[in-house]
């Protein structure tokens, strides 16, 4: 089963010299974790907006759950897909619980009052993201990591079949970043479709089942982490010398490819020089 399916999708922002997304075809399987990678400006966030129906493609089709995403009403999409946007800054003070309760809005419409089921969904989402203890705190007193967990909790309170996250761990420290990735793995194991845009090649390789590597609006490679994160592909896309080594473990993800960017001059690295000699 597929959650999303794109065929030849092209999108150009008005006035832009080239298409932000160019003839992209991809499948996002349901109930697993897919990570979209790529350099800055490679079209990752635009692709995400196209998948969510926030932008309409100039060419090609985007299907969400088998139906063109343009035919979905906004509130229907919001009940099916929980989104954690890249950055947001609430204009007025609010508590964590108020923020998370907004996840119920797509279910409530304009007039219906919050019921017991809604309160329980909010409670579960708060507990799941480990922010239940912070529920009464004002949002602007939280650290970056806590705030991000609260946003993920809001998306979970939507009780969606799929979750889309745009760089959820940008600017987080190691433990907060790992906590988010661990949570995403658990969610995918529980049957939630997770679609994630990230710059963390190595964590994506360990936690995602499938990687999509974008470059200049096109897909440079997609597939299992081992197929996508090869030295040749990563060096071509990012224009920087790297080594790819298996993750030493321990853990369930031992053996996942890990990208180690090298110092600027490739001849400085003897192991790499030897590899190149072998290849020749």
Partner 1 sequence: MKPALRLLLLALAAALALLVGVRVGAVPLSVGEVLDGVRGTGDAATVAIVRRLRLPRAVLAALVGGGLAASGATFQALLRNPLAEPYIMGVSGGAAVGAVLAIVLTGSLASGGIVALCAFAGALAAVLLVFRIASSVGRALDTRILLLAGVVVGAFFNACILLALTFADADAFRSAMFWIMGSLSGATWRSIGVLAAVFVPAILLLFALARSLDLLAVGEETAAALGTRVERTKLLAYGVASLLTAASVAVSGVIGFVGLVVPHVVRMLWGGGHRFLLPASVLLGAAFLVLADTLARTVAAPTELPVGVVTAFVGVPFFVYLLRRRQA
Binding site for partner 1 (CB under 8 A): 14, 52, 54, 74-79, 81-83, 85-86, 88-95, 98-99, 102-103, 105-106, 108, 110-111, 158
Cα(20)–Cα(7) distance, integer angstroms:
16
- To partner 1, the closest distance from the beta carbon of 271 in angstroms equals 44
Strands (E), 154-256: 162-166, 193-197, 210-215, 218-223, 242-246
- Cα-based distances in Å from 141 to 92, 95, 98, 138, 277: 13, 9, 14, 6, 56
Nearest to 232 by CA among 243, 224, 222, 223: 243
Q: With contact defined as beta carbons under 8 Å apart, do 187 and 194 qualify?
A: yes
Q: Please, which residue, 12 or 247, has the CB nearer to partner 1?
A: 12
Nearest-Å Rg of the Cα atoms of the chain is 20
**CB under 8 Å, gap of 24 or more: what pairs does 221-230 form?**
222/26, 225/256, 225/257, 226/256, 226/257, 228/37, 229/201, 229/205, 229/257, 229/259, 230/257
Beta carbon of residue 91, minimum distance to partner 1 (angstroms, whole number)? 4
Q: Of the two residues 5 and 95, which places its CB atom closer to partner 1 in the complex?
A: 95
Shortest distance, position 92 Cβ to partner 1, whole Å:
6
Contact 78, 118 (CB under 8 A): no
- Shortest Å distance, C-beta 111 to partner 1: 7
Of 102 and 178, the one with the shorter C-beta distance to partner 1 is 102
Residue 250 Cβ vs partner 1, minimum distance, rounded to whole Å: 37
State the nearest-atom distance from the C-beta of 232 to partner 1, in Å: 36
**Closer residue to partner 1, CB minimum distance, 88 or 182:** 88
**Cβ closest to partner 1, residue 184 vs residue 219:** 184
Q: 87 or 239: whose CB is closer to partner 1?
A: 87
- Residue 151's nearest CA partner among 119, 266, 205, 170 is 170
Nearest CA to 151 among 114, 176, 118, 188? 176
């Amino acid at each position: 089963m597929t959650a999303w399916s794109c065929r030849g999708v092209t999108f150009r922002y008005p006035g832009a010299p080239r298409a932000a997304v160019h003839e992209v075809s991809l499948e996002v399987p349901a109930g697993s974790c897919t990570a979209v990678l790529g350099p800055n400006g490679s079209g990752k966030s635009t692709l995400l907006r196209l998948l969510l129906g926030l932008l309409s493609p100039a060419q090609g089709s985007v299907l969400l759950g088998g139906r063109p995403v343009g035919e979905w009403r906004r509130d229907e999409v919001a009940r099916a897909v929980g989104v954690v946007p890249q950055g947001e800054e609430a204009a007025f003070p609010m508590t964590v619980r108020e923020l998370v309760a907004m996840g119920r809005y797509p279910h409530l419409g304009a007039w219906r009052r919050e019921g017991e089921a809604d309160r329980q969904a909010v409670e579960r989402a708060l507990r799941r993201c480990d922010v239940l203890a912070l529920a009464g705190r004002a949002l602007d007193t939280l650290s970056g990591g806590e705030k991000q967990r609260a946003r993920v909790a809001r998306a979970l309170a939507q009780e969606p079949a799929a979750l889309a996250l745009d760089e959820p761990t940008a600017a987080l420290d190691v433990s907060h970043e790992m906590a988010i990735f661990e949570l995403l793995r658990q969610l995918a194991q529980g049957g939630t479709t997770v679609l994630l845009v990230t710059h963390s090649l190595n964590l994506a390789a360990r936690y995602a089942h499938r990687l999509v590597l974008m470059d200049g609006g096109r897909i440079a490679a997609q597939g299992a982490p081992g197929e996508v994160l090869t030295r040749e592909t990563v060096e071509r896309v990012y224009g920087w010398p790297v080594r790819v080594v298996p993750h030493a473990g321990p853990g369930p993800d031992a053996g996942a490819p890990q990208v180690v960017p090298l110092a600027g001059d490739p001849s400085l690295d003897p192991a790499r020089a030897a590899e190149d000699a072998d290849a020749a």
